[in-house]
Amino acid sequence: MRAKLDTSRPYALGLFRIVIGLLFLCHGAASLFGVLGGAAGTGGTVPAGTWPNWYAAVIQLVGGGLVLLGLGTRAAAFIASGSMAYAYFTVHQPMGLFPMENGGEVPAVFCWALLLLVFTGPGALSLGSLFGSRASGTSGAAERREKGSPVAA
């Protein structure tokens, strides 16, 4: 059973990346274009160039798209995770210590999910893997180590 789960790990990680990227992209699209309920569910958009909301929406749209596609996943996820940490600590945390108190569950979950992708890479099903192991953020040696094969340095 464990061996079957281990062989499925890259695909589960790839699906996780795709879902997180899509959801993050949707937040940016809602804020920038007023679709999917608009900015913060108001139906409106964020005024262009306003700090920090417009810049956060651009990071969400572009970063979410890159994570979704698996292109530059680690760098995009790092920037996106940082933007969610900033959102949590500047907007939500001053209203209460815990996310359940301050309405910061969404930025907290996005922050940690995206940070996980920084360390794990894109998994399977990424466009970055089409350009070789360097683009996907893993080396052939690292992939063999993950599969449990001995690697000669």
Q: How confident is the model at residue 37, as a pLDDT? A: 85
Evaluate whether 126 touches 117 at the Cβ level (below 8 Å). Answer: no
Give 77's pLDDT tier (boundaries 50, 70, 90).
very high
Q: What is the pLDDT of residues 114-153, one digit of tens each?
A: 999 999 999 999 999 888 755 444 444 444 444 554 443 3
Phi/psi at 2 (nearest 5 deg)?
Answer: -60, -40
Q: For position 143, what pLDDT does the model report?
A: 47
Which distant-in-sequence residues (6+ apart) come within 8 Å of 34 by Cβ? Answer: 43, 44, 45
pLDDT at 133: 56
pLDDT for the residue 116: 98
